[in-house]
C-alpha cells in the first residue's frame, strides 16, 4: 500500500476513534460554529445551512408513511437517487454506505438514520427499493428508501429535490440530468448542511454528524489538547 494510502487510512482510523471517545464522554467541547469553520477551511465541498427541512409525505418500501416530524430525535443523512441511473447514483449510494459504516461503528448508530429518496417512483417499485440498498452496501438497520404515496404525482420527489436546491430533469430517454448533494438534518428537523459531489472526505461528514448527535450548539471551554483539538491538528 502506498504511503499516502496508509496516511489516509491512519487519519480515518484516528478520527473515528476520536469521534467514539468524544461521543462516549458527551463531548460538547466546541460550538457548531467552530465545527462549521473547521469544515469550511478543510472541506471545500461543505456548505453550512440553517433552514427548516422542506416538508414531505412519502412512504417506505414496506408502505409506511414517513414525514419529517417522524424523524425528529434522529440526525438524518438524506440524498436523492433513482435506481436505473447508470453512473453517479450507484457511486453516491456507495459513498453513503461508506459513511454509514463509519457511523455504525460508533454509538451514533442509534441516533442517525440514512434516507435515500427515489426521483423515479414509477419504475422504483417496493421490491426494487428493498433490493437497491443492500446491493450497494447500505445496511437496512438504519437506512430507508422513500418513494411517493399512491395518490401523488410522479414528479413529487423531483419537486422535493428542487426544494432542497437541486434538480432532477427528466429526459425523453427516461434518464435524469442531476447534481449530487448529500443533505444533513439535525435531530430537531432543521436542515444544517450540504456536502456537494462525491469528492468530500467521508470523515468530515461523520465529524459534522457527530457534532449534531451531541447537540453541540454552545461554546464550552476545553484545554487545547482536547479530543477536538487533537483531531483538527491531526487532519
Least confident of 40-44, 76-80, 160-164, 191-195: 40-44
- Please identify which residue in the block is written with the cell numbers 448508530: 109
Q: Are 20 and 107 in contact (CB under 8 A)?
A: yes
Whether 27 shows a pLDDT value over 50: the answer reads no
Phi and psi of 35, rounded to 5°? Answer: -70, -40
Determine the 3-state secondary structure of 110 from DSSP. helix
Q: Give the chain's count of helices (H) and strands (E).
A: 7, 10
Mean pLDDT of 209-214: 93
Helices (H), ranges, the chain: 3-24, 32-42, 88-104, 126-135, 156-163, 202-213, 227-234
Pairing of strands 181-185, 75-81: antiparallel
Long-range contacts of 199-202 (CB under 8 A, 24+ apart): 199/45, 200/43, 200/45, 200/46, 201/43, 202/12, 202/95, 202/98, 202/99, 202/102
Whether 36 shows a pLDDT value over 70: the answer reads yes
Structural domains in the chain plus CATH codes: 31-219 (3.40.30.10)
Confidence at 33, pLDDT banded by 50, 70, 90: confident
Mean pLDDT of 49-61: 96
Whether 11 shows a pLDDT value over 80: the answer reads no
Q: Greater confidence, 30 or 140? A: 140
The C-alpha cell that represents 125 in the structure block? 417499485
DSSP letter (8 states) at residue 45:
T
CA 14 to chain CA mean position, Å: 21
Tens of pLDDT, residue by residue over 105-130, are 999 999 999 999 999 999 999 999 99
In percent, the amount of the chain with pLDDT more than 70 equals: 78
Mean pLDDT of 195-209: 96
Note the pLDDT of residue 30.
Answer: 56
Distance, CA of 6 to CA of 223 (rounded, Å): 30
DSSP letter (8 states) at residue 138:
-
Confidence at 39, pLDDT banded by 50, 70, 90: confident
Amino acid at each position: 500500500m502506498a504511503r499516502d494510502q496508509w496516511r489516509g487510512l491512519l487519519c480515518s482510523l484516528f478520527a473515528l476513534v476520536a469521534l467514539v471517545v468524544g461521543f462516549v464522554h458527551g463531548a460538547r467541547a466546541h460550538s457548531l460554529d467552530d465545527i462549521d469553520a473547521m469544515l469550511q477551511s478543510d472541506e471545500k465541498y461543505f456548505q453550512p445551512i440553517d433552514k427548516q427541512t422542506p416538508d414531505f409525505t412519502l412512504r417506505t418500501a414496506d408502505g409506511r408513511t414517513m414525514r419529517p416530524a417522524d424523524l425528529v430525535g434522529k440526525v438524518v443523512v438524506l440524498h436523492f437517487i433513482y435506481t436505473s441511473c447508470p453512473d453517479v447514483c450507484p457511486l453516491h449510494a456507495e459513498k453513503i454506505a461508506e459513511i454509514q459504516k463509519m457511523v455504525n461503528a460508533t454509538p451514533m448508530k442509534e441516533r442517525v438514520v440514512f434516507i435515500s429518496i427515489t426521483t423515479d417512483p414509477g419504475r422504483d417499485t417496493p421490491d426494487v427499493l428493498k433490493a437497491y440498498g443492500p446491493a450497494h452496501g447500505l445496511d437496512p438497520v438504519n437506512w430507508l428508501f422513500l418513494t411517493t404515496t399512491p395518490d401523488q404525482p410522479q414528479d413529487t420527489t423531483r419537486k422535493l429535490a428542487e426544494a432542497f436546491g437541486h434538480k432532477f430533469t427528466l429526459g425523453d430517454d427516461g434518464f435524469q440530468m442531476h447534481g449530487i448533494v448529500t443533505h444533513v438534518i439535525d435531530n430537531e428537523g432543521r436542515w444544517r448542511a450540504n456536502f456537494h459531489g462525491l469528492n468530500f472526505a467521508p470523515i468530515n461528514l461523520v465529524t459534522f454528524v457527530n457534532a449534531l448527535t451531541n447537540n453541540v450548539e454552545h461554546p464550552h471551554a476545553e484545554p487545547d489538547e482536547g479530543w477536538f483539538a487533537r483531531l483538527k491538528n491531526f487532519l
